[in-house]
Chain A
Amino acid sequence: MQETSVDSRVGEDPQEKEMSIHSSIFTWKIPCTEEPDTVNFVHINLHKNNKQPYAVSELADRQTSAESWGTGRAVALIPRVRGHRIEEVPELPLVVEDKAEGYSKTKEAALLLKKLKAWNDIKNVYTSQRMRASKGKMRNCLHIQHREPCVIYNEDNGIIKAFRNIPGTTMLNLDELYGTWCKAASLKSNYNLPMYKMLNTDLSRILKSPETQRALQAPCKTIHRRVLKKNPLKNPRIMLKLNPYAKTMCGNTILRQAKNHKIHMDKAAAALEAKSDEKGIPGKKPVVGNKEKKAVGDKKLKKPVVGKKAAGTKKPAAEKKPTEKKPTSEEKKAAA
């Protein structure tokens, strides 16, 4: 709630209710629920209900009861404020300690007002006492005067009696004004105290309570960081991580390729010799036979050998049937 200082505050009592008076506000410390919204609400509404001061007050902008003067007065239809001036009261709403509820003498009440510098307002009331200017006179409304402080109290320990004779004051009982949890407000129609969103507002206590803790999961402290993806087809270590067999597979292919290459070479050499032996007859057959065998070996490679093989296979591949699509690994050639 706004910073309202309480006169003769007795400790930091979190539970306060404020009482508002027109020009000055007495707030009484009354055991009540702490609800800043309620306090605020009280304050605003009371100010709305009555004439609002336009003097320096923290809540001046909210306190206006500006009304348009209407037409016929040669001024624009802008809402204008008619209200009280607060001159000397220290603060609005003015919170006063509970002891004031115990005043039973008007003298005491008057003294309080004087001390709080609200007495000028009361004097104002005296000066404003006059007769009504209209036919209301005939209808039992003879006298009129200003309204002045509105005193809100919780318990009537005599305070009504003390203040009621001070002209202009209005006494309002908190319970009647706002009701209690059990009953609606009697001074306002159809108003009940707002229900709490939270009954127990001590958040740290709630969080640490065994009931809450029991329902919680264990804290997940491990941080998962994004892993950079490396291409296993190019990066042998990553490949091995994913497929430990890849190493042996690779090794096998290299071995076999070497073997096959050797065989191929031998055969080619043999064929060449055979060719040179047979004059003029192109030793096609053996060569062709070779080639066929190679082709078969070629096809056999359905087993994809990853990355590494590429380098190894190029040579033999080029000599045989060039097939880009199927990398040549002739493990099976040996098997066949």
Chain B
Amino acid sequence: MLRKARRKLIHEKAKHYCKEYRQTYRTEIRMARKASNFCVPVEPKLAFVIRIRVLNGVSLKVRKVLQLLRLQQIFSGTFVKLNKASVNMLRSVEPYIAWGYPNLKFVKELIYKRGYSKINKKRIALTDNALIAVSFRKYGIICMEDLIHEIYTTGKRFKEANNFLWPFKLSSPRGGMKKKTTHFVEGGDAGNREDQIYRLI
């Protein structure tokens, strides 16, 4: 009975989020259309960062930052909330990472497909909402959809939610990378590639 109630709740929540995403999206477009002169798009709040270089021969400072970002392995990825501090961090390790602004599909697919949680210091697959509920019940995050919502909209509990997620272990990019050693801007792979990040997953 309780389980049923929970399921229903999750159902409602997911539906609500669905609507919410749609609404925010449409609102943005509508605003853009209304605005007579300029339309400045919203600064992205979420970034997904992937490490594209191996462990050896990395300078100490860079190593530390990568450690803080939990990017200890090549092609491991994490979500990062964007603020002045973190942007500067990303800038300092620019040659070692590729990052960009993930869209909803991206976030969802990542968490569903490659989502693992850190429970009790162990890397445990997100196979059940119960795993999430146990850790986050007090924050009101009880299912995958909640988690995705928290990450995507960088909510109040982004830090906990993000930390709960074990850094994503991605496979090497299909079709290869352009050129690891140079910046995206220069035709390479490193650094901020904004919307194009999805291509790397």
Task: List A residues at the B interface (Cβ < 8 Å).
Answer: 227, 229-233, 238-239, 241-246, 248-249, 299-300, 302-304, 306, 325-327, 332
Contacts and interface: CB of A to CB of B under 8 A. Distances in A.
Contact of A245 (B18, B104, B105): B18
B14 A244 contact: yes
A246 B14 contact: yes
A327 B29 CA distance: 18
B11 A245 contact: yes
A332 B105 contact: no
Nearest to B132: A242
Query: Interface majority SS on B: helix, strand, loop or mixed?
Result: helix
Nearest to B105: A304
Given A227-B125, A300-B22, A302-B105, 5 more contacts: A233-B112, A238-B127, A241-B129, A248-B15, A302-B22
A304 B104 contact: yes
Interface string B8-32: 0011011100100110011001000
B125 A242 contact: no
A214 to B, nearest CB: 27
A239 B112 contact: yes
Contacts of B125: 227, 229
What's the dominant secondary structure at chain A's contact region?
A: loop
Nearest to A244: B11
A245 B145 contact: yes
Contacts of A304: 103-106, 108-109
Contacts of B129: 241-242
A177 B126 CA distance: 69
A306 B125 CA distance: 19
B104 A303 contact: yes
Contacts of B103: 302, 304
A325 B109 CA distance: 13
A302 B106 CA distance: 10
Contact of B22 (A227, A231, A332): A332
Size range of the interface on B? 20 to 34
B105 A243 contact: no
4 closest A-B pairs by CB:
A304-B105, A245-B14, A229-B125, A302-B25
Contacts of A302: 21-22, 25, 103-105
Nearest to B14: A245
B143 A233 contact: no
A327 B15 CA distance: 19
A332 B14 contact: no
Given A227-B127, A243-B143, A302-B104, A233 B113 contact: yes
Contacts of A245: 10-11, 13-15, 18, 145
Interface in B136-189: 143-145
Contacts of B105: 302, 304, 326-327
B14 A233 contact: no
A322 B26 CA distance: 21
Interface string B186-199: 00000000000010
A135 B145 CA distance: 104
13 contacts: A227-B128, A229-B126, A231-B112, A231-B113, A241-B127, A241-B129, A242-B128, A243-B143, A244-B11, A245-B13, A300-B22, A302-B103, A332-B26
A241 B145 CA distance: 12
A232 B14 CA distance: 15
B27 to A, nearest CB: 11
A324 B101 CA distance: 17
A328 to B, nearest CB: 12
Contacts of A300: 22, 25-26
B188 to A, nearest CB: 21
Contacts of A242: 112, 126-129, 143-144
Contacts of B128: 227, 241-242
Contacts of A244: 7, 10-11, 14
A306 B14 contact: no
B183 to A, nearest CB: 22
A243 B104 contact: no
B113 A232 contact: yes
